[in-house]
Structure 1
Amino acid sequence: MSSRRKISQNEKYDAAKDETLTKVVKGKSPLWIRGIMAVFRVWFFIYDILNYLPYQLFNSPVEKLRKSGRVKARFVDEEERDGPIRHVDGLVSEYFLGKNTLDKYWRHIVELYDEAPCLGTRQLLEVHEDKQENGRVFEKWEMGEYVWESYREVESHVQRLAAGFKDLVKENPDSKVVLFAETRAHWVITALSCFRARVPIVTVYATLGEDAIAHAINETDSTILVTSAELLSKIGNLQKKCNTLKTLVYFPQVNPLAAAPSLDGFRSQFEHVFSLNGLESRNKERIKESEAKPDDIALIMYTSGTTGQPKGVMLTHRNIVAAIAGESYGVPIICDTDTYIGYLPLAHILELSAELTCLGRGAKIGYSSPLTLHDRASKIQKGTHGDCWALRPTLMAAVPAIMDRIFKAVSEEVAASPRFMQELFKLNYERKRARYQEGYCSPFLDRIIFKKIRSLLGGRLRGVLAGGAALNPETQRFMNICMCCPVIQGYGLTETCGAACIADINDLSTGTVGPPVRCADIVLREWTEGSYSPWNDPPQGEILIAGDHVSIGYWKQPEKTAEDFIEYKGCRYFCTGDIGQKRDDGSILIIDRKKDLIKLMHGEYVSLAKVECALLNCPLLDNICVYGDSFADYVVALVIPNQKHLERIAKEVGEGSTDMKAMCENQKVTVEFLKQMGEHAKQSNLSRVEMPKQITLLPEIWTPDTGLLTEALKLKRKPIQDKYQKVLKKMYGK
């Protein structure tokens, strides 16, 4: 089985075989278009001749290729391939020597960057109401410029708020603060204040319901709840379910024009109710440094719960400081002139670690949300601009689901354009891709052809960090070329503070998560059931991670802690459940996941996540969950179709209704949809057993609010399987 999955070490490690444009531009073009394209190719040939010498002198492709292919990590002992793989530059546990707690790290940053801009919030100028035909009313925002606070000003808030939190917990030293709020500057300021006051934070996603919030509060015996004015309506009866809660603190409203929330009901439930500004100005005391020790718990961060009930991961100051060090060395391009756009949930380790890393290099962070991120975002008033236009970020983090959406949106726009424009885009895309892999840059194409696409995200991006799930190599290459900046794939888990691997900024290939970060050792442990072994060629196995950034365990779950955190060859490792493969240059590829691997009745193994990753950039669908039954010889899939393409297919097969439910239930529509999806699967090199044999089209949309996706937009397999159990059985004829 391992030979079937093995990626040749002689390839250029580029999993994107560039069938991207064949999926967008199909069929043969008229003779006159092919003639014009031939003229362009001749022009490019002449352009290359004229620029050969300048490229060699000032932007040598030879040096770029050398950096791309250099060895980045190796086995500590080549004779022990079941031993650790380590970055060639060695291990680190602190980015600033001696700054071994988050408060020491932050105070050092303040001394370095002082009055430089730190955290920015965009002004809301006016709220418009957009009334739909069905009577529903949606808010549309008209927004202004970003308003910035300097590092020194943020530190002033931290000093006063830390005193406020310290005062609230003085009677109970074991108190914890539950942080239940959207991503914004107040979230980070509150977190820094709690680090200063030596009060552990419990993070909760802003989309969770009251029961899930109550579970986190009761499990951690938290006494203080910090939320936003907008979320007060979600916690109306929370105190009645959580006897330990004594204090409510709320952030000010994002919309200053809205009516102030009523607090009467909360004042009767809580002993203390404060606005964040009220807590800050409660007394004149300031706490200028923390008593926290490196091994104190800084965060109890609940996992996204893709395979079951979320677990509270205990992260110490030492853990997070070590992860910041690994990520800082892993992404060396960050500097004090950069602007990072923060819009992913700060309750997710990817966003929190990215922001702390950027702050350590003096970058400024402007806050946004998926609803206001770009000009076409759902909350942006038509004719006005989204946050990327106003902020013009140079850095951002993104989960694969968001990049897949951008990929599909651009692909569909190209496919809908006149044939000449399609061929022109294809020519320029393939030209830039080939030159990129040869080590050349394409400034002319960047300025003329790809400028419009790049402007979707502000036009100034220097780097995009992808994490949270596996990124389709095809999507990664497409983003590399069209956004005119490197897309750096990373790999990590909540249990490792988001740090395990980061792809090298100079690596021109796709599909890899890069070498281990400099705070981590990685072992590929043999998994005989899947035929994965570090003694295979190339080495493969379950990824185990060790280092100062590895969590001390799960809150109040000693049995689960003992199961996932093990002693292996005299060192403490976290068992990820992911299957990795080591390249010759030391980079790691994620090729499977133990829990996602299904063995069919004839012995074939199918990686559900691999199939989903390959199909997710098919324009026909918006989401997919592949399911396998070990007593059958095929896999099936639950599909959320793209409405526009579903209507097209329905029209082709004679379905008159455009009602989503009617189209999804029409058998002719389903059969044609599966046929067209199968064509995409073949182009994505899926084998016969990997392609779903049966599908069910679902009219409902999966979101984190429905409990079927995590905040990083990953599938929650068990809840999906439970909800659609009858549908799955029907596809298997049961």
Structure 2
Amino acid sequence: MTKEDIVEKIKSAFWTVNYDDYVPKKLDLLIDTIPSVFRRIAEEERDRVFLIFFNRKYTYKEIDLLSEAFAKTLIRDGLSKGDVVAIMLPNTPQFVIALLGVLKAGGVATPINPLYTSSEMLYQIKSSGAKYLVILDLFINKYREIEREAGLRKVYVTSISDALRFPLNILYRLKERPPSVEETDVIRRMFSEIRRFIKDPRRVDVKISPEDLALLMYTGGTTGVPKGAMILHRNVVANMQQVAAWHPPKPDGSRKGYIYAGVLPWFHIYGLVATLFTGIWTRSTIIVFPRWDLEQVLREIERKKIELLHGVPTIYTYIVNSPLAKKYNLRSLTAAISGAAPLPVEILRRFEELTGANLREGYGLTETSVVTHVNPVRGRYKPGSIGVPIPNTYAAIADPEKPILLPPGEIGEIVISGPQVFAGYHNMPEETEKAFFEFGGFKWFRTGDLGYMDEEGYFYVVDRKKDMIKYKGYSVYPREIEELLYKHEAVKEAAVVGLKDPEDVAGEIPVAFIVLKEGYENKISENDLLEYLKKHLASYKVPKRIVFVKELPKSAVGKILKRMIREKAKTKIVEGRIHIEYQ
């Protein structure tokens, strides 16, 4: 196949023949800003319940008014168009109010992981240039540790109890005893400030363009120092429409008014766009979970008749392995999507058997705002595949080192072109330049993921470019080994990484780190699993050691952090055998 043939094949978007019949081959995308979209929907759906947070329901109109009041607060406090506001909150109504308020005021939001230490928090504030901060009172002491260095103009503090009705608001304060927060010229109570403007009928009138910066989303730092991905308003609005087009129709044929599980954290791009923003576009109701609590999620799926669940493999693994899952009726779920990390085929099979819902693996990155690929929900699904490019998205396989595209079947780097692709890395022009190349009339973003495309346009992730193991010149892909391990009845979680060969012969050696299911701790040995793998793998792919651990390090969205495993593990030779020290 010539270079020209490959380009023409990609341009034809030939994979669209695999779409479910309700998904358009191409969308006539609305190009707009996030506040404009939300205001229009809030006006049309003013009395529809938007968020349910424990015992409190918020309508679209109520969130519109509260976010408008917060936008006025920011402008009063000196926010100019383009100023950055950091938001350090779990999933709460306040997160939505703050985010929409920032965007309505013409600001740029940079969500911060609430689990961050004060030094990590300071890094993002300084890197993003944030001048304002919205923070939960439970985290105020982290801010106090960096107050002088941060140099913020205003800090708006809120409490979980601010979003609850009586008596839960009182019970929460009695149980959690959040730290007292004394107001100063800088530190203010978020809802006290909002109340000053809540009855002001005037709309905030800041001129915002779809080309303006909306979000600075920091990558998780799994491959180094976190980078700020510059996400434009039009990127988010495009992906809202693209993801919504993939949702299966409800039994009455409608494509709106779904009930979502707001489980994934909104400070991460996956939860923010796939759940919150797409929920807005589809005029849906979101059940808000401030933290992961397995039984609470299962209980609310049954009580609230949740229909759509976006998750990560860890969430689905927890569900299928928990005896609690059989206590609740999960049959209201019609579709579930898994992203952020490879989904083991065995976990998918067990989840579908348990719930009756179609669980489909998808794909996306912070830099693509977020979704680029999904398997058809009702149509042909290929286990192990990330699916096909969603409408108006082009994807291909490129040479990892050269600006050329490769034919179907060849392994290379997955590259993306589409309206959801970000503008670049904040204050990192060299990193931005390395991330893109032009070929065949497209501007391609390099994802850093190795994979291939089959003849029907389904894509497969082989591994992260940086996770691939070079053993004696062979390329060893951890995902292939992990898929096999997940099929073993004793394995709960698995991560395969490359560690330095202590004998300096092989370069790297593959090592598997395993969390066993409950009840198997003393029944399965390292040799048992190695013998199992030897039946299915070429000898060079078989891990040189298997290490049993109680848990694997994970990011806030449940992605296993292989970088941390590599940092904690050391290899050496003890009595002629490779020994792994893991701290």
Task: Give TM-score scaled by structure 2 length.
Answer: 0.85
Partner of 1:363: 284
Q: Is the 8 A contact 2:452 2:462 kept in 1?
A: yes
CA distance in 2, matches of 1:623, 1:295: 42
CA distance in 2, matches of 1:479, 1:698: 25
Report the Cα offset of residue 727 of structure 1: 6.7
Q: Structure 1 residues 409 and 690 mapped into 2: Cα distance closer, same or farther (>3 Å)?
A: farther
SS at match of 1:491: strand
Q: Structure 1 residues 218 and 554 mapped into 2: Cα distance closer, same or farther (>3 Å)?
A: same
Q: Is the 8 A contact 1:239 1:245 kept in 2?
A: no
Deviating more after overlay: 234-243 vs 626-635: 626-635
CA distance in 1, matches of 2:128, 2:239: 24
Q: Structure 1 residues 90 and 494 mapped into 2: Cα distance closer, same or farther (>3 Å)?
A: same
CA distance in 2, matches of 1:234, 1:197: 27
Partner of 2:544: 693
Give a deviation string over 1:458-510, Cα, whole Å, max 9, x none.
43101111111111122222222321111122110000001211111222432
Aligned length: 547
CA distance in 2, matches of 1:478, 1:497: 30
- Is 1:240 matched with 2:115? no
Report the Cα offset of residue 288 of structure 1: 5.0
- Is 1:723 matched with 2:576? no
CA distance in 2, matches of 1:299, 1:728: 49
Partner of 2:66: 157
- Is 1:675 matched with 2:527? yes
Report the Cα offset of residue 641 of structure 1: 4.1
SS at match of 2:47: coil
Partner of 1:46: none
Aligned-CA RMSD value: 3.1
CA distance in 1, matches of 2:220, 2:401: 29
Q: Is the 8 A contact 2:372 2:390 kept in 1?
A: yes
- Is 1:300 matched with 2:216? yes
Give matches, 1:374-393, under 5 Å: 374=295, 386-393=299-306
- Is 1:216 matched with 2:124? yes
- Is 1:511 matched with 2:384? yes
Give matches, 1:66-81, under 5 Å: 78=5, 80=7
Give a deviation string over 1:248-297, Cα, whole Å, max 9, x none.
33244375322564445x645xx332223112112354435552111111
Percentage of identical aligned residues: 23
Partner of 1:317: 233
- Is 1:197 matched with 2:99? no
CA distance in 2, matches of 1:76, 1:605: 26
Give a deviation string over 1:31-90, Cα, whole Å, max 9, x none.
xxxxxxxxxxxxxxxxxxxxxxxxxxxxxxxxxxxxxxxxxxxx9975536855635355
Report the Cα offset of residue 687 of structure 1: 3.6
Q: Whose strand fraction is larger, Structure 1's or Structure 2's?
A: 2
Q: Is the 8 A contact 1:179 1:226 kept in 2?
A: yes
Partner of 2:369: 497
SS at match of 1:534: coil
Query: Gaps spanning 5+ residues in structure 2: where?
Result: 17-23
Partner of 1:607: 477
Q: Is the 8 A contact 1:501 1:517 kept in 2?
A: yes
CA distance in 1, matches of 2:294, 2:564: 29
SS at match of 2:349: helix
Q: Is the 8 A contact 2:157 2:188 kept in 1?
A: yes
Report the Cα offset of residue 223 of structure 1: 1.5
CA distance in 2, matches of 1:547, 1:291: 26
Partner of 1:345: 265
Q: Which has the higher contact order (CA 8 A, sep 6+)?
A: 1
SS at match of 1:492: strand
CA distance in 2, matches of 1:457, 1:193: 38
SS at match of 1:357: helix
Query: Gaps spanning 5+ residues in structure 1: where?
Result: 1-74, 124-146, 378-384, 414-451, 650-671, 703-707
Give matches, 1:116-515, under 5 Å: 116-123=48-55, 147-170=56-79, 172-253=80-161, 256-257=170-171, 258-259=173-174, 261-263=178-180, 267=183, 271-283=185-197, 284-285=199-200, 286-288=202-204, 290-333=206-249, 335-354=255-274, 355-374=276-295, 386-409=299-322, 453=326, 456=328, 458-509=330-381, 510-515=383-388
Q: Structure 1 residues 158 and 246 mapped into 2: Cα distance closer, same or farther (>3 Å)?
A: closer
> What one-letter code is carried by the residue in structure 2 that aligns with 1:342?
G
Q: Is the 8 A contact 1:83 1:524 kept in 2?
A: no
Report the Cα offset of residue 605 of structure 1: 1.7
- Is 1:564 matched with 2:435? yes
Report the Cα offset of residue 310 of structure 1: 1.4
Task: Give TM-score scaled by structure 1 length.
Answer: 0.68
